[in-house]
Homo-oligomer: A and B are copies of this chain.
């Protein structure tokens, strides 16, 4: 029955290729970023605080596991998620971690929740309001990510430009800011800024992958 053992070893060896790919914190960060849209190596390196060489190596490991693909575009190499299933998988991993790892919840509580004053908004309710456009939604991610996919009706106001573009935001309506997902800090900061300016602002934890996973439509392209 040695043939069975060999078969099993090969099968689980293959499965573990996916596991190995997602066993490094930096590769998970890269994957999370790529779930927001395609990106050049340089950008990924900057976002993750890695050297370009190191980023490149991690990306090749992800590519080896068929989780991402790369294509030379002009002077740059652009990496992208190989299949939307990869984002679904990443999300299921993120949610499992969120539910099972107490330390993770704690880290987030300390960093994000304290700033928002632990506001308890009903998420489903908030999503409904976003869906029915009864609130002003702003997407504070970099513009390329907005273009790659955003919540329909959302305004693209990257965090970096927020201060200078406050005039575009109505002061009398409820503002909802979102970014890459529950572990992204952009929307948290946006809410900080908006509130200090007297806006009624709130953060939506979900990112575009979460929005999509709920079966809601995602818009692409610039808002002109």
* Chain A residues proximal to chain B, CB less than 8 Å: 4-5, 7-26, 28-29, 32, 49, 65-67, 82-83, 85-86, 88-89, 92-97, 99-101, 103-104, 107-108, 111, 183, 185
Question: Which residues of B sit under 8 angstroms from A93, Cβ to Cβ?
Answer: 15, 18-19, 89
Residue among B5, B25, B103 making CB contact with A16, cutoff 8 Å: B25
Q: Shortest Cβ distance from A32 into chain B, in angstroms?
A: 8
Do residues A97 and B185 form an inter-chain contact, with CB atoms below 8 A? Answer: no
Show 6 residue pairs from A and B whose CB-CB distance is below 8 angstroms, ordered by the A residue. A5-B49, A14-B104, A16-B28, A19-B22, A23-B23, A65-B100
Q: Once the chains are docked, how many angstroms separate the CA of A86 from the CA of B92?
A: 10
With a CB–CB cut-off of 8 A, which chain B residues contact A32? Answer: 12
The distance from the CB of A123 to the nearest CB of chain B, in whole angstroms, is 19
A65 to B23, CA, bound (A): 12
Residue in A11, A18, A67, A99 whose Cβ sees the most chain B Cβ within 10 Å:
A11
Known: A85-B99, A94-B15. A8 touches B29 (CB 8 A): yes
- Interface contact B101-A8, CB-CB below 8 Å: no
The interface residues of chain B lying within 8 Å CB-to-CB of A14 are: 97, 101, 103-104, 107
Q: How far is the CA of A83 from the CA of B95 in the complex (A)?
A: 13
Known: A11-B107, A25-B9, A108-B11. A18 touches B97 (CB 8 A): yes
Q: In the complex, which residues of chain B have a beta carbon less than 8 angstroms from the beta carbon of A8?
A: 29, 183, 185
A191 CB to nearest chain B CB (Å)? 15
Docked Cα-Cα span, A13 to B185, in Å, equals 16
Shortest Cβ gap from A127 to chain B (Å)? 22
Query: In the complex, which residues of chain B have a beta carbon less than 8 angstroms from the beta carbon of A65?
Result: 100-101
Name which residue of chain B comes closest to A100, CB basis.
Answer: B66
Q: B88 and A11: CB pair below 8 A?
A: no
A108: which B residues are within 8 A, CB to CB? 11
A82 surroundings in chain B (CB, below 8 A): 100
Closest B residue to A111 by beta carbon equals B7
